[in-house]
Amino acid sequence: AQSVTQLDSHVSVSEGTPVLLRCNYSSSYSPSLFWYVQHPNKGLQLLLKYTSAATLVKGINGFEAEFKKSETSFHLTKPSAHMSDAAEYFCVVSGSSGGYNKLIFGAGTRLAVHP
Amino acid sequence: EAQVTQNPRYLITVTGKKLTVTCSQNMNHEYMSWYRQDPGLGLRQIYYSMNVEVTDKGDVPEGYKVSRKEKRNFPLILESPSPNQTSLYFCASSQSGIANTGELFFGEGSRLTVL
């Protein structure tokens, strides 16, 4: 079975400093992994995805994530935080249940960005 | 504009009073799904539909019903709401193959409170 664990429920950074949001996954086969972002009072939006091509994946708004199979991790990073990055971020793994492909969401990490 | 539209966005109701949350997408997507979001739990799938007249249970279907009579619409029905169904609900759609593409398009959410 597939599962995903986001290691921090809250992360707080200062504007202009790096962002690291941590995600570990468990999968019995080579997974597809995704990060979604949810801004306040909005729906979720796909930030980036890994589907077994390049292990370093670039997404929107300067975010990127690196797939590390040996560590079963897919951490999200950004070199320099902006105030507009304040949001909740979800790590997501694709799974299979009874032949149906589904997305399994982590519990989320709330990112706060301070001036 | 491509979008998923949910209504109502906010609703306060009382135990046992039937309600329906509507969802409509204008992207001709085959796949539609309902999720609930609760603090610390991420998003959990309630029901999904692979196409018209094809629906199936997700991880937390108890207390909910759905129908898919038209491709664009996927209403969520709470026949007899209870306080434990107080939550933030999201409708989402995808063309197909979500396991690989991971791209779900989300509505802006419906916040339901059951007293």
Bigger pLDDT: B113 or B50? B113
DSSP secondary structure of B47-95? EEEEETTEEEE-S--TT-EE--SSSSB--EEESS--GGG-EEEEEEEES
**Range from A21-30, B71-80, B103-112 carrying the lowest mean pLDDT:** A21-30
**Which residue is closest to A8 within chain B, CA to CA?**
B40
- Pairing mode, if any, of strands A3-6 and A100-105? unpaired
pLDDT tens string A45-96: 999 998 877 889 999 999 999 999 999 999 999 999 999 999 999 999 887 6
Cβ separation of B103 and A90 shorter than 8 Å?
no
Other beta carbons within 10 Å of B80: 12
Q: How far apart are CA A52 and CA A49, in angstroms?
A: 10
Which residues on chain B are in Cβ contact (under 8 Å) with A41? 108-109
Which residues numbered 51-110 in A keep a CB inside 8 Å of some CB on B? Answer: 51, 90, 92, 94-96, 100-103, 105-108
- Tokens in use for A23? 């995600």
Which residues on chain B are in Cβ contact (under 8 Å) with A101? 97-100
pLDDT at B97: 58
**Which residue is closest to A100 within chain B, CA to CA?**
B99
**pLDDT bucket at B1, cuts 50 / 70 / 90:** confident
- ∠ Cα B101 B20 B83 (to 5°): 95
**pLDDT bucket at A115, cuts 50 / 70 / 90:** very high
Which of B41, B102, B109 has the CB atom closest to A49's CB atom?
B102
**pLDDT bucket at A98, cuts 50 / 70 / 90:** low
Look at residues A72, A82, A84 and name the one whose alpha carbon lies nearest to residue A23.
A72
Contacts of B58 (CB under 8 A, 6+ apart): A102, B33, B34, B35, B44, B45, B46, B47, B48
DSSP state, B3? -
Rounded to the nearest angstrom, the minimum Cα separation between A29 and chain B is: 13
Q: How far apart are CA B26 and CA B59, in angstroms?
A: 26
**pLDDT bucket at A28, cuts 50 / 70 / 90:** confident
pLDDT tens string B86-110: 999 999 998 865 655 668 899 999 9
pLDDT at B95: 83
Look at residues B111, B83, B103, B84 and name the one whose alpha carbon lies nearest to residue B15.
B83
Alpha helices in chain A (DSSP H): none
pLDDT at B85: 97
pLDDT tens string B22-56: 999 999 998 999 999 998 888 999 999 988 998 99
Long-range Cβ contacts of A60-69 (<8 Å, 24+ apart): A61/A85, A63/A19, A63/A35, A65/A33, A65/A35, A67/A33
